[in-house]
Structure 1
Amino acid sequence: MTPVSAGSALGDRLADAVTGIDAPDVVLAVTRNGRRTVMTGGSALAPPTPRHALRYELGSLSKTFTVLLLAELARDGVLSLDDRLVDRLPELPLPLPHPHSRRITLRHLATHTSGLPRIPADLIAGALVHPYANGYAQYDTGRLLRTFARTRPRHRPGTRWRYSNFGLALLGPALSGATGAGYPALLTDRVLRPLGLTDTTLGPGTTGTDAIGHRTNGVTPVGSADMGAFVAAGSVRATPGDLLTYLEAHLSPDGTPLARPLRDVQVPLLRRGRRKRNTHTLTWYQHPAARGPLLFHVGATFGQQAFLGFHPASHTGLVALATRRGRTCRMISTAYELLYALAGEPSA
């Protein structure tokens, strides 16, 4: 996959959008009815490996891969979305003193309705003392399970939406407990390989293949993000080409080996937001748009941002990646507005 030159109408729009994003490295890529248009740029000198060929950290966008894995295992009869978390975990190191903890299901974890906090309290304390340190790196699975056992859910599971990295992280050991296989092997065998995502990994690649993140100032480099036991919530890295393939699988599920789970993760399940206008599927945010909803998710690590969105009615998908995070980067808003505009236009 190579980026296009400005000149086509869509290429010109992507080029304009790239210049509006404040980041050392930027990639915008669109698929419309299977035709791909890719534009790169940024404030830094072009890296030795072209920007469109680098792997980017997806942060919370990794959750869409984990929940697709969950849906695939459910379709295969290995587990049920409504299995209790405690029944799918390895033996817990501590008893569960809070009754709500025993009621949490795998579906609750996927849809952020478990009642668990966004991140464990001990990670918050560490971040306040060392704001630029990666507290996830030293957080192993044993500690994750011990923390879960001690944590009181904020509300009865299934009654309220509350975004939780903590909850999605627990899907990793739960899926391993259900299958007897490690999460990386499960994701590779059940999702990445069937979809042909050969440039998607759960860790750093060889030197020169991974994008280098930056702090919010856009200058200071940030080291590779090791997510420790939060691997299921934020460890996926992928090239723009693989991410377009991933979106195309969602837009045309029947052409893939994962047709049923790909459709399952797009079914609306709950409403939230002002006047309950915004809908959530098992893993995607869903907003109203022309001719039908658009689905999207965002992600960030310590020095990178990512956006994936698709509009089934116009058969359009959009990938946006940047080696800087933060609101001043303007990547998320630019990507969302571009996808929303494309959704309202005829796709030839």
Structure 2
Amino acid sequence: MNNDKQVDIKLSQLQAQLPDIFVDINAAIIVLKGDEQVFYLHGEPVNKSSLFEIGSVSKPLFALLASQLVTEQAWSLDMPVAQLLDKQYRHHNYSLQQLLTHRSGLPRLPTNLTPISMDDPYALFGDEALAEALSASNSAPGVFEYSNYGYGLLGWLMAENFKVSQSNMVEKYLFDNLAMEHAQLAITGSKQTKLSGQDYYGDNLPNWHFDSLVGAGGVLASPQDMANWISAYWLSPETNPTLAKSINNSLALLNDDMAYAWRVGQQGQYFHGGRTAGFSTMVVFNPKKQVAVITMVAGERDAGKIAMTLFEQLQNKDK
């Protein structure tokens, strides 16, 4: 299979171009403008409720819940994370803000993450393994280092705060409130009806599962779920003022180019990508202009390039 299918992608011709862009790869592109949601779906099994692995796009979703805790003053951005941990972990003296912006000093992955199979690398990393990882020394905070470990820890800490499982936590505080009715966590041992991702050659790959580090990338979401979540950044639910305020606060800059997990561009766009073995996802939106493009691909295509190309056309269309 040709991984680098070259198509001059045009928003105005997108529906007709889908077979050329994706060939036999299942995919969805969602274009949002104000309260309008337009779905471009490719592949016989794909519909608005099909579950994709969204990988690291899970991070800004978990960060939104952290924003709620800060908004409610249960947590504070300058709070040392050690304050949320047992005494033997006092060396975790980075702040919540540093954890949210990948400046905690935590490495990309825990040093004791040694998966039995790379087909499902996070599946067996549970609470005991996380406790062992937390005992290790860290680099000094302050320098950017993208950390799946850090966001896995964030999800775990929030569940400890709410005294529920991470699945119950996101169901109650995120999925229900954001009208993400199909969304789930890919927890080890659970079963979901989801799409299969493909490798470079078009062969199906095993789906990923997560345990304690699910906040790093374990959300399964449908095209409709993603449309409802992202449009909430400008169509904040009036019936839930706490959520509306948390959503607004989550867009605030925490340093030069990052909000709550979102990277922030010079023209006011927010974006984040995600990958698992067989899936890639990209979200880019501008809350002031009320426009977004979301690309979800169950195979080897550059979701980021596709989304950014279409987003630029969408913004220029309104100039």
Whether TM exceeds 0.5 here: the answer is yes
Q: Kindly indicate whether residue 183 of structure 2 is the aligned counterpart of residue 200 of structure 1.
A: yes
SS of structure 1 residue aligned to 2:122: helix
Partner of residue 36, structure 1: 37
Q: List gaps (5 residues or longer) in structure 1.
A: 1-8, 272-278
SS of structure 2 residue aligned to 1:321: strand
What pairs up with 1:233-244 in 2 under 5 angstroms? 233-244=216-227
SS of structure 2 residue aligned to 1:136: coil
Select which of 95, 100, 106 maps to 1:105. Answer: 95
Select which of 243, 259, 268 maps to 1:281. Answer: 259
What pairs up with 1:238-253 in 2 under 5 angstroms? 238-253=221-236
What pairs up with 1:1-348 in 2 under 5 angstroms? 10=11, 12-16=13-17, 19-21=20-22, 24-41=25-42, 46-47=44-45, 50-89=46-85, 91=86, 95-96=88-89, 101-123=91-113, 126=115, 132-153=118-139, 155=140, 157=141, 159-203=142-186, 209-217=193-201, 219-253=202-236, 255=238, 257=240, 258-271=243-256, 279-289=257-267, 293-325=268-300, 329-346=301-318
Aligned-pair identity in percent equals 22
- How far apart in 2 are the matches of 1:294 and 1:23? 31
Q: CA deviation at 1:186?
A: 1.7
SS of structure 2 residue aligned to 1:137: coil
Cα shift readout 1:226-249 (whole Å, capped 9, x = no counterpart):
122111111111110110000110
Would you tell me which structure has more helix in proportion to its own residues? 1
For 1:335, give the aligned amino acid.
A
Q: CA deviation at 1:206?
A: 6.3
For 2:251, give the aligned amino acid.
Q
1:294 touches 1:340 (CA, 8 Å); kept in 2?
no
SS of structure 1 residue aligned to 2:208: coil
- How far apart in 1 are the matches of 2:191 and 2:161? 32
- 1:234 and 1:58, CA in 2 relative to 1: closer, same or farther beyond 3 A? same
1:18 touches 1:39 (CA, 8 Å); kept in 2?
no
Alignment RMSD (CA, Å): 2.4
Cα shift readout 1:171-219 (whole Å, capped 9, x = no counterpart):
1221123232222222211121112211111137866x411111232x2
Q: CA deviation at 1:126?
A: 4.8
SS of structure 2 residue aligned to 1:228: coil
1:22 touches 1:330 (CA, 8 Å); kept in 2?
no
SS of structure 1 residue aligned to 2:317: coil
1:61 touches 1:307 (CA, 8 Å); kept in 2?
yes
For 1:211, give the aligned amino acid.
L
Q: How many residues align?
A: 306
Cα shift readout 1:243-300 (whole Å, capped 9, x = no counterpart):
00001101222546211111111112222xxxxxxx11122111123xxx11111111
For 1:213, give the aligned amino acid.
G
1:72 touches 1:190 (CA, 8 Å); kept in 2?
no
Q: CA deviation at 1:83?
A: 2.4
2:119 touches 2:208 (CA, 8 Å); kept in 1?
no
Q: CA deviation at 1:313?
A: 3.1
1:21 touches 1:331 (CA, 8 Å); kept in 2?
no
Structure 1 runs (4+) greater than 3 angstroms displaced:
204-207
SS of structure 1 residue aligned to 2:207: coil
Partner of residue 6, structure 2: none
Q: List gaps (5 residues or longer) in structure 2.
A: 1-9
- How far apart in 1 are the matches of 2:32 and 2:304? 18
